[in-house]
A and B are shown apart, each in its own frame.
Chain A
Amino acid sequence: EVQLLESGGGLVQPGGSLRLSCAASGFTFSSYAMSWVRQAPGKGLEWVSTISGSDGSTYYADSVKGRFTLSRDNSKNTLYLQMNSLRAEDTAVYYCAKLKWPIVATFVDYWGQGTLVTVSS
């Protein structure tokens, strides 16, 4: 059974940093692309970032480019999202997502339960 368990969310002040983790199990982690998708309170889904399962290339939404860094540790079956220079508009539930294929232009077949990030003073 595929499981994605996010952690690391919480309350942080504007300008602060936070690192989200996603522990994966139930599939060959290194063989699949992985993403983060966020959802602000009462709003829709927004793609944040994706890392390829083939060559480790990373891709970012313009709204987070230069502030967020996505990485993966295939030996620990874990995905990370380092978030710096956080803004109020980054407040959202962040979902870890497993993609169907190693390539990045594909869809999500499994989602984590989400972790809430609140940016506020």
Chain B
Amino acid sequence: DIQMTQSPSTLSASVGDRVTITCRASQSISTWLAWYQQKPGKAPKLLIYKASSLESGVPSRFSGSGSGTEVTLTISSLQPDDSATYYCQQYNSYSWTFGQGTKVEIK
């Protein structure tokens, strides 16, 4: 199975900061990667698919980049509503794997 290593595990930033989360895959996943946002007690929400395609309705401050074994999620200007845990998911095959999550806190 493909292992996904997400970093950092937690980050604390101020409103307006640029924030970057990285996922590294144990083997190439091309651009078969999605990013989800999850708030406490809620289901995850799709943000980005195919590494860099923004899901409809998602604010443009979210962006994704990368391919192969390293992909990133960037929040260009952190907002209070962005406080959540973010997960990457590879779907290179039927056996998906998720990163362990990055908890984003607002200072």
B-side interface mostly: loop
Q: What is the distance, in angstroms, from A53's C-beta to the closest C-beta of chain B?
A: 13
Q: What is the CA–CA distance of A92 and B101 in the complex, to the nearest angstrom?
A: 17
Look across to chain B and name the residue whose beta carbon is closest to the beta carbon of A62. B1
Instruction: Count how many pairs of residues, one from A and one from B, have CB atoms less than 8 Å apart in the complex.
Output: 53
Q: State which of A50, A62, A109, A111 has its C-beta within 8 Å of the C-beta of B55.
A: A109
Please give 17 more A-B residue pairs, beta carbons under 8 A apart, in addition to A50-B94, A105-B91, A107-B89. A44-B100, A44-B101, A45-B44, A45-B87, A45-B89, A50-B96, A62-B1, A95-B43, A95-B44, A100-B49, A105-B92, A105-B93, A107-B34, A108-B34, A109-B55, A111-B43, A114-B43
- What residues of chain B have their CB less than 8 Å away from a CB belonging to chain A? 1, 32, 34, 36, 38, 42-46, 49, 55, 87, 89, 91-101
Interface size class of A (residues with CB under 8 A): 20 to 34
- What residues of chain A have their CB less than 8 Å away from a CB belonging to chain B? 44-47, 50, 59, 61-62, 95, 100, 104-109, 111-114
Query: Which residues in B have their C-beta under 8 angstroms from that of A113?
Result: 42-43
